[in-house]
Structure 1
Amino acid sequence: MGVQPGGVAEDSRQVRPGDLFVAYPGDLADGRRYIADAIARGACAVLWEAEGDFVWNPDWKIANLPATRLRTLAGPLAHALFGRPSERLSLIAITGTNGKTTISQWIAHAHPRPCAIIGTLGAGFPDNLLETGFTTPEAATLTRFLAEFAAADAQACALEASSIGIEEGRLDGARIDVAVFTNLTRDHLDYHGTMESYAAAKARLFSWPRLRLAVINLDDPFGQELAGQSTATRILGYTQSDTPGECQGVIRAEHVEETIHGLRFSLCAPNGRARVESGLLGRYNVSNLLAVAAVLIDAGLTPEDVAARIAKLSSPPGRLEKVGGQGEQSLERDNEPMIIVDYAHTPDALERALRALRPVARARGAGLVAIFGCGGDRDRGKRPLMGKIAAQLADRVVLTSDNPRSEQPSAILDEIRTAAPRAELIVDRAQAIRQTILAAHPADVILLAGKGHETYQEIAGVRCAFSDIAEANAALAARLESRP
């Protein structure tokens, strides 16, 4: 095209003067519709997808080049134009159905060297994240972040690698140093079609070119398969089992104790052992902590150092997050129900959250209430599965809207209710939260599941401001005001 771009962008709002604008149809919009905006913002050239009926506007007096399958080229192109930033830091990619956000946040907080984050909660350094709207951003955006982190002296970056992001080539061109696998359970079948395709997308990460280390959950059946298939130079497994199977090295949790006050276990690693005490709830968090421990030990820490660092970790926003009351993990009865907000939106995640909270409800001497729904325009098969889990593990179930998107909210709830016939239906989520909290026994434990940290609700294609945490706090305040 006869120009030398200073950078690359596929979102016109992120174009800087001298950038190459890469325009192709995306998940939410067609980037070619925003070429004029990119030019107005100073793009020096445009690379555009030639497939389809798009025609270049001759009024756009700018260097341009059509190409096919452009989305697959965006990653390698961006990495070349940004000076291959993934070569200048350790890129730690975490994949799996559940646990990506928690593990990536904890790695960044506990890593011995400056570590950035790219994921569901945003991109940046710990406690200073810029919201992106994606778990795994598009290739050019992701690469721009890596370049900015490297320029800010980051030595590592914990990246949430979603199966969709891997499948669509958003990581292509990046040098991945460490890949972490958490687990594989049902999700995203609306996109992948089958569990086999879903698993294959995640497996790609463990045969990545020049992958140095694979950290794999050996308690997951698919994880055991990955351990035998990965082409990584080194494979480090983690497990709560005494018989984890074959692996080059194993991080193990022994003598696990799960109480209403947190978790205790012995961390056993190839380079020693240490006792871990954590205020986190839920047996599944032992696995999450083991994944973090494996990365930290690879980074040069001793088990004693690791134990000290992970003991300080707290739940990320929207992950078993306590609303109101006497502190994040306070379990004391304060004459108010205990409200927990969690992002659980898959059958496995909902089951884990409810099982983690059952001992707490038992200790408080009251019931466990689940308030949740399922997203619209997504895998319908998981709806009755989640209904069945809630009916089995909660004392009371309230079905309400999640992000219904283009579907009728009541129709979604009817599908969930086929497996939870005794569940209550309150379509309006704010109303469901308010009514349930106002009517709750003072010792009840109430789980608001599905939306977690999200600050919007999508109904009929429109995103409106909405927060489970804000609604729960408002309901608790109303409950206090209503006292005689």
Structure 2
Amino acid sequence: MIDTPRIRRTPPVMPRPERPTPSRLIDLAARIGGTCSSDAEVTGITVSSNDLAPGDVFVAIRGLNRHGAEFAETAAENGASAILTDAEGAEIARGSGLPTLVVDDPRGVLSDAAMAVYRTGPDDDIPLLLATTGTNGKTSVTHLLEGMLTQIGVVAGASTSAERVVAGERVVAGLTSPEPSELHALIARMREREVEAFAVEVSAQAVTRRRVEGVIWDVMGFTNLTHEHFDDYGDMETYYQAKAPLFRSDRSKRAVISLDSTPGERIAAEADIPVTTIATLGIATLDAYARADWKVEVTSEAQSGTGFRLTGPDGRVLSTTVPVIGAHMAANAGLGIVMMCEAGYDWDRIRAAL
């Protein structure tokens, strides 16, 4: 007999829609290819027992040491409508009394299931999705994007390693890149709050751990690639290959790629989507700087911030200041501005605000 862990019931901590549209478990089974005979009504989905709300599908996945299905009885007590798990988990959860949707790979179908429950797939009515990846600068670019979008009058949202932001409402983050259940609940919440654009920090782990499968980003930004995270990926090539899928047409519509690090040139060359490049004088090689579509040049550095000039195609020039010291912050701000242009925001509107 399994000793079921008990947890203290706490209110949901992740942003989620306040007025969810109910779904039927049997319809979800048909969508993801699972086995289920129940017509139970579901309004949410989660992998965390600490973040389970009444009406949720509790997704029970085998971990390194335990199976999530060991928490099924607690999930039932907390109002779960059903459990999504594998055959092993279904057997463990039998005593919970919850309707069970059985699939071969719960982790593999989690993104599709979350999109179905929250209606946040590529063909649904969702905010503009602006993502940033790279070793350094992801959080800064995402934070700057949310601030600059707000500055030009756009209702914006953000997801960084530090926080989740929905139209000015801020919640402390858990994972750098949220699990699919959290990500799609967040998108659905943004739709309710009439968020127009959502800036997201996307790590290599989010790709290899399948947290962003099925999402098609409107603009994907790339900062740099340096010799870090080898504890996860072992070597530079493996790390590079973890990032590279984000620049393919089944993941993103277009990209803005910084040439400030050498891997940026390879990313730009191998991407099968429209690419715009940017480089920073003093960080990029002179050759990369000369070839970039957009150029960042630092014009002043003071305690109050870093002044820079952004020069682009067709004679476009913007001079502004980012309120943080350092050429790298000017590079991050420049990348964010070009991402806004690639997303379709008017250049004159951006220049007037910044």
TM-score, with structure 2 as normaliser = 0.78
Residue 265 of structure 1 is matched in structure 2 by 308
In structure 1, what residue type is equivalent to 2:148? A
How far residue 124 of structure 1 moved from its aligned partner, in angstroms, is 2.1
The answer to whether 1:277 aligns with 2:321 is yes
Q: Matches of 1:309 and 1:136 in 2, distance apart?
A: 30
Residue 188 of structure 2 is matched in structure 1 by 147
Residue 49 of structure 2 is matched in structure 1 by 12
**1:317-356, aligned counterparts within 5 Å?**
none
Secondary structure of residue in 1 paired with 2:95: coil
Compare relative contact order (CA 8 Å, sep 6+) and give the higher one, 1 or 2: 2
Residue 19 of structure 2 is matched in structure 1 by none
Secondary structure of residue in 1 paired with 2:226: coil
How far residue 286 of structure 1 moved from its aligned partner, in angstroms, is 1.7
Residue 100 of structure 1 is matched in structure 2 by 138
In structure 1, what residue type is equivalent to 2:331? S
Residue 236 of structure 1 is matched in structure 2 by 276
Deviations 1:30-50 (A, max 9, x none): 432322221112212111134
Relative to 1, partners in 2 of residues 1:63 and 1:54: Cα closer, same or farther, differing over 3 Å?
Answer: closer
**Larger CA Rg, structure 1 vs 2:** 1
Relative to 1, partners in 2 of residues 1:83 and 1:301: Cα closer, same or farther, differing over 3 Å?
Answer: closer
Residue 251 of structure 1 is matched in structure 2 by 294
In structure 1, what residue type is equivalent to 2:324? L
Deviations 1:358-401 (A, max 9, x none): xxxxxxxxxxxxxxxxxxxxxxxxxxxxxxxxxxxxxxxxxxxx
- Contact 1:239–1:251 (CA<8 Å) still a contact in 2? yes
The partner residue of 1:110 within 148, 151, 157 is 148
Relative to 1, partners in 2 of residues 1:19 and 1:66: Cα closer, same or farther, differing over 3 Å?
Answer: same
Moved over 6 A (4+): none
In structure 2, what residue type is equivalent to 1:172? E
Q: Matches of 1:192 and 1:7 in 2, distance apart?
A: 33
Q: Matches of 2:298 and 2:234 in 1, distance apart?
A: 40
Matched residue pairs, number?
307
Secondary structure of residue in 1 paired with 2:113: helix
How far residue 133 of structure 1 moved from its aligned partner, in angstroms, is 1.4
How far residue 285 of structure 1 moved from its aligned partner, in angstroms, is 1.0
Deviations 1:267-326 (A, max 9, x none): 11225112223442111112101111112222444556435545xxxxxxxxxxxxxxxx
Q: Matches of 2:100 and 2:222 in 1, distance apart?
A: 40
In structure 2, what residue type is equivalent to 1:96? G
Residue 334 of structure 2 is matched in structure 1 by 290
Relative to 1, partners in 2 of residues 1:36 and 1:293: Cα closer, same or farther, differing over 3 Å?
Answer: same
The partner residue of 2:82 within 22, 41, 45 is 45
The partner residue of 1:84 within 120, 124, 146 is 120
- Contact 2:215–2:251 (CA<8 Å) still a contact in 1? no
In structure 1, what residue type is equivalent to 2:295? R
Residue 63 of structure 1 is matched in structure 2 by 99
Relative to 1, partners in 2 of residues 1:169 and 1:100: Cα closer, same or farther, differing over 3 Å?
Answer: same
> Percent of aligned positions with the same letter in both sequences?
26
Secondary structure of residue in 2 paired with 1:62: coil
Q: Matches of 1:252 and 1:25 in 2, distance apart?
A: 48
Secondary structure of residue in 2 paired with 1:116: strand
- Contact 1:75–1:140 (CA<8 Å) still a contact in 2? yes
Unmatched 5+ stretches in structure 1: 311-484
Unmatched 5+ stretches in structure 2: 1-35
Q: Matches of 1:127 and 1:7 in 2, distance apart?
A: 23
TM-score, with structure 1 as normaliser = 0.58
- Contact 1:104–1:159 (CA<8 Å) still a contact in 2? yes
The answer to whether 1:165 aligns with 2:206 is yes
In structure 2, what residue type is equivalent to 1:200? Q
- Contact 2:322–2:330 (CA<8 Å) still a contact in 1? no
**1:19-38, aligned counterparts within 5 Å?**
19-26=56-63, 30-38=67-75
Relative to 1, partners in 2 of residues 1:64 and 1:278: Cα closer, same or farther, differing over 3 Å?
Answer: closer
